[in-house]
Structure 1
C-alpha cells in the first residue's frame, strides 16, 4: 500500500511521491498525520540542506511538529504517559526517539541520547506524509480541549518549557527574550505564568513585537537599546543564534543566566568573550526537550498557554512549498505556519 509524501530532494525543492506504508515494528503504531508545523530548523534544512553539522545526504521527508490519528495499534498498547492507546485516538507525537539504554537516557536526559533518531531530521523521515509509524511511547493522547493545531504546537511548547526549566526562573525575577518567533512567544507566556516582574522582548518584526506585548511582555524593542543593557536576571535567546547570542549577553545583568535555544544555520555562534566573562554569565545550552508533553498538554487544555493564537497561516500539503517560502521570507504577518493533510486511505 502507498500514500503521498512531500519529499525534500534538493534545497528549496519538494517533490510529491508515493511512499510505501511500512509494517509497524514491535512497539510501534501507525499514525495518520493531520497537522504539521513548520519550524525554523525545517527552514534551515529546506534552504541549506543541513541543520548544524547534520547534512541531508538523500531525499528526506521533513516535519517534526505534528499530530495525527492512530489507525493501527495492538491491543494493550500504552502511550508515553502510560495511558491506553487505541485506534481512533488523536495523538501528539514526540519526534525524538531515544535509545532508552545509554547513560544519558538512564540519567533522565533522553534529549541528550547519543544513539537517538529524530523524525524529520536526516536520516529518519518526518511527518509531511499521510502516514507514519511511531513508537507508541512517543504518542500522547489529546483531550478534546486541545485542537488539532494545538496538538502540533505541543512540540515547540515542549522546547520552550524545557528551556524555561533550565533557566531556573524564580517568582520576582526579571527576564528578557531575544526573538519573538513561536518559541520566543511561548517563552513569553511561560515567563508571565511564572511571575516575572519585568519581561522584555527584542524582535525586528513589528507584528511579532505587538503579539509579544499582547501575550505578556512588559516592553519590546527592535534591538538592544541602552536603557535595557545589563538589566535581566535570566535571558532566553530564541532567534537564529547569530547576533542574537551577543544581544542576550548584553541584556543580561552580571551573574545572570543566559539560555541559548536557537540553532545557527552554519553551526557557528558569536558572543563577545570579554563581555560574557566580565559579567560572569552562565551560558546554558538547551537541546530539544525532556519529559514535557504531559505538562504541555495540561497547560494548553486548561487555557494557561494559548498556542492557537500563534498560528498565522495554514496551508494544505499541496501548497507545502508556499508554506515554507512564506516562513523563510518572513512575509508580513507570518508567525507560525501549519500544513494540514486531508484524511486519506492508503492506495493498493
Structure 2
C-alpha cells in the first residue's frame, strides 16, 4: 500500500510522490489527514527562505525534500501504545485530533525552564525541518497520512467542531501573545484589560485570528490596518471597530483617526501581523 504526498523537493518545485505505508513503532502514532492548511511559512520555504530560527543557538536549514503542512486535522488510525492528549484525555483509534506543529525535547535548559518551543535546543517541526528522504517519510500534513513522533502534543477535537474550524487551531495558538498580555493585567494597569483598545497591523490569516482573540478576551475597540479592503472587510465582520487601508491613507491620517477613536491616547495593545519593517518604524 502506498501513501501519496505533496513533496517540496527544493524551493520552487512541488511534486506528488508515493511513499511506502509506514510501520508504526512503539510510542508513535499514525493519523489520516482530513485537512491541512497552507501557512505563510510554507510559502516562504517555496520562495527559497530556507534558513530558520536565525539568531537562535541552534539555527536550522530546511532539509529538502520535505512534505509541508503543519496546520493539520486528522483521524487516528494506528496507535501501538496508549496515548493521552494534552489535556490528559485518553485517545483511541478513530478519534479526531490536531497535532501540535512542534516537538520540543523536554530535556534542554529552555524546556526545563518552561520557555516556548522555539527556545528548545532540539526542536523538530512537522512540515518544516523533518526530511522526507528517510523512513518513515511522512512528517508533513500535505499527505494522506502523518507519522506522529513520540513526545508530540496532540489535542482531541471536540465532538461537533467541524474540521474546517479545528484546522485553525495552530493559527489560534499564535494568538497566545494576547493571553500572555492578559495575564499581566492582574497587576495595576499593566497588560491587556477588559475594554482596552487593540490595534492589529495586518489582517491576513494570523491578523484575523488576533482580531477574533481580542474580541474573545473582552477588548473594547479593535482597530485594524491592512493593504487589502477585502481583508479589512473580513476583519470588520469578525469585530474590528475601525479599519484603515494603509494604501489609501497617509501615516498622519491614520494617527489622527486612531487618536480620535482613543481620546488622544492611542491603542493600549498593538499586535504586528504585517511582517514588514514599515509597521514598526
- Alpha carbons 1:49, 1:55 under 8 Å: kept: no
CA 171–234 in structure 1, closer or farther in 2 if over 3 Å, else same: same
Matches within 5 A, 1:12-161: 12-50=12-50, 52=52, 53=54, 54-74=60-80, 76-111=82-117, 112-124=119-131, 125-135=139-149, 137-160=152-175
Matches within 5 A, 1:185-200: 185-200=208-223
| Distance across 1 between alignment mates of 2:42 and 2:18 | 21
Which of residues 221, 226, 232 in structure 1 aligns to 2:255? 226
Give the corresponding residue for 2:231. 208
Q: Distance in 2 between matches of 1:77 and 1:60?
A: 26
Whole-angstrom CA distance in 1 between matches of 2:115 and 2:199? 26
Separation (CA, whole Å) in 2 of partners of 1:151 and 1:172: 28
Aligned length: 245
Are the counterparts in 1 of residues 25 and 80 from structure 2 also a CA contact under 8 Å? no
- Cα 1:153–1:51 change in 2 (3 A) is farther
Query: Cα RMSD over matched residues?
Result: 1.9
Distance 1:29 1:222 in 2: 46
CA displacement at 1:10 relative to structure 2: 2.4
For 1:37 and 1:85, the matched residues in 2 are separated by: 23
In 1, Cα distance between equivalents of 2:32 and 2:173: 22
CA displacement, residues 144-170 of structure 1 (integer Å, 9 cap, x when unaligned): 22111212110101111x121233321
Q: What is the CA–CA distance in structure 2 between the aligned matches of 1:135 and 1:79, rounded to whole Å?
A: 14
User: Match for residue 237 of structure 1?
Assistant: 272
Return the structure number with greater relative CO, CA threshold 8 A, min gap 6.
1
Task: Pick the structure with more helix per residue.
Answer: 1
SS at match of 1:192: helix
Asked if 2 retains the 8 angstrom alpha-carbon contact of 1:201 and 1:219, the reply is yes
SS of 2:209's equivalent in the other structure is helix
In the alignment, which residue of structure 2 is the partner of 1:254?
Answer: none
- 1:218, distance to aligned residue in structure 2 (A): 0.8
- The SS at the match of 2:268 is strand
Structure 1 residue runs of 5 or longer lacking an equivalent are 247-270, 272-348
Gaps of 5+ in 2: 55-59, 132-138, 183-191, 260-264
TM-score, normalised on structure 1? 0.66
Q: In the alignment, is the contact (CA less than 8 A) between 1:42 and 1:62 conserved in 2?
A: yes
Q: How far did 1:200 drift? A: 0.8
Q: Equivalent residue of 1:167, what SS?
A: helix
Which structure has the larger Rg?
A: 2
Corresponding residue of 2:185: none
Q: For structure 1, which segment, 38-47 or 136-145, has the greater mean C-alpha deviation from structure 2 after superposition?
A: 136-145
CA contact (8 A) 1:44 1:51 kept: no
Q: How far apart, CA to CA, are the structure 1 residues paired with 2:205 and 2:238?
A: 12
- Equivalents in 1 of 2:125, 2:51: separation in Å? 12
Cα shift readout 1:227-285 (whole Å, capped 9, x = no counterpart): 136711110001224322x2xxxxxxxxxxxxxxxxxxxxxxxx3xxxxxxxxxxxxxx
Shift of 1:51: 5.3
User: 1:108, 1:126 → 2: CA distance?
Assistant: 26
Say whether 1:170 aligns with 2:205. Answer: no
> Under a length normalisation based on structure 2, what TM-score does the superposition of the two structures give?
0.81
